Amino acid sequence: MVKYVLREYKTILNKLKFIDTWFWVRYTCNPYQGCEHACVYCDARSERYYIHPEFDQTIFVKKNVKEKLDAKLRRARTLLPDVVGIGGTCDAYQPAEMNYKNTRKLLEVFLKYKYPVFLSTKSIGVLRDLDLLGKIANETACCVAFTITSLEEKVNLFLEPRAATAEERFLALEKIKQEQPKIQTGVNFMPIVPYLADSDENMENMVRSTREVKADFILFAGLTLRDKQALFFLRKLEESHQNLVEKYHKLYQGNYVPKDKAYLLRISQKMLGYCKKYSVNYRVKRWIPSDFRRINYLIAQELADKAYEMQILGKKGYKGWLWAANHINNLPESIAILAKKEQLETIRNVRGIIKAEVEGLIKKYDKSKTLDSYF
């Protein structure tokens, strides 16, 4: 039996120090604390999120979220509209939402203040809010991604016991695109669970299905196993897939990601190959504001995309590119101004070949004629 507890929280919107370069999210917002979907691999169980231990049994429903968010955005002097990731340590459309409607209330406020949103879910409950999500997509930008890890229902029942079936999730993606084509849609094929969902067949079918429902992208990533999350997952594995436990110990060797780099490389290369074969993007198209951040965001996206490819192909030096992207995302003025003042090197990590790349990108994206047009 799941218990719902109404609780007052001080904050409802969290600003990230660095923009997340997977989903291009600047803010995060969790309508609930805890998640009834109870996925066995959920990383919200790890200590870094400080969630209560029985997080899939007791769901804290945040009180007065609409009023709180409205007050925060109305008074905000230092906040600029940017992409809000809704959910993350909870599923915004878990069963509680059908009753309490916290997610819908928050979406109404984001629409009012013109904040773009990125939603990841495993519930077809999101279809209820298509009208609102479509309006956000028309005003700014909206992305809805379904996390789907396997096309085999037996595997899904073990990994995600209370989520919608994979078929329902793919059908929902198709419906969203048909009814609200401006919404960017995608599949989060994450985590790719070793020995249960990493077969060539499953990986190829995931990409093919993404293509068939006309989704815009598929993101893929491996399984992390941190502290309490690892303990929970391995305990569950022991209960129903005992034969895999030893294989996991060999693959991870106590690390939070697989120690075997050849394994990771195999997955990445296969996935890149399938994405190419079915012409499916493996990166999200980010929202680009029209103020001074425009050129910064365009350049940061290119650097982060390059870092991502280097990383998954096992190339060294990707962190420098990623950090350069992070610092460019955070600039308080247009990077073109810094270039004109010959101050690009004041940006951390922008030197050597990265600086040369940035200079080329400034030429590509800087359409302004005068300095004044930046203000």
Which residue, 44 or 361, is less far from ligand SF4 as judged by CB? Answer: 44
| Interacting positions 27-46 with ligand SF4 (CB under 6 A) | 35, 37-39, 42, 44
Choose, by CB under 6 A, the member of 20, 82, 91, 198 that binds ligand SF4: 91
Q: Does 169 bind ligand SF4 (CB under 6 A)?
A: no
State the nearest-atom distance from the C-beta of 263 to ligand SF4, in Å.
22
State the nearest-atom distance from the C-beta of 160 to ligand SF4, in Å.
6
Neighbours of 234 (CB within 10 A): 17
Which residue, 170 or 297, is less far from ligand SF4 as judged by CB? Answer: 170
| Closest among 50, 34, 157 to 92, alpha carbons compared | 34
The residue whose two tokens read 């400034």 is 362
Which residue, 90 or 137, is less far from ligand SF4 as judged by CB? Answer: 90
State the nearest-atom distance from the C-beta of 88 to ligand SF4, in Å.
7
Which residue, 37 or 270, is less far from ligand SF4 as judged by CB? Answer: 37
Which residue, 30 or 140, is less far from ligand SF4 as judged by CB? Answer: 30
State the nearest-atom distance from the C-beta of 71 to ligand SF4, in Å.
27
Choose, by CB under 6 A, the member of 62, 122, 270, 306 that binds ligand SF4: 122
Determine the size of the site formed for ligand SF4 (CB under 6 A).
9
The residue whose two tokens read 């590119």 is 321
Binding site for ligand SF4 (CB under 6 A): 35, 37-39, 42, 44, 90-91, 122
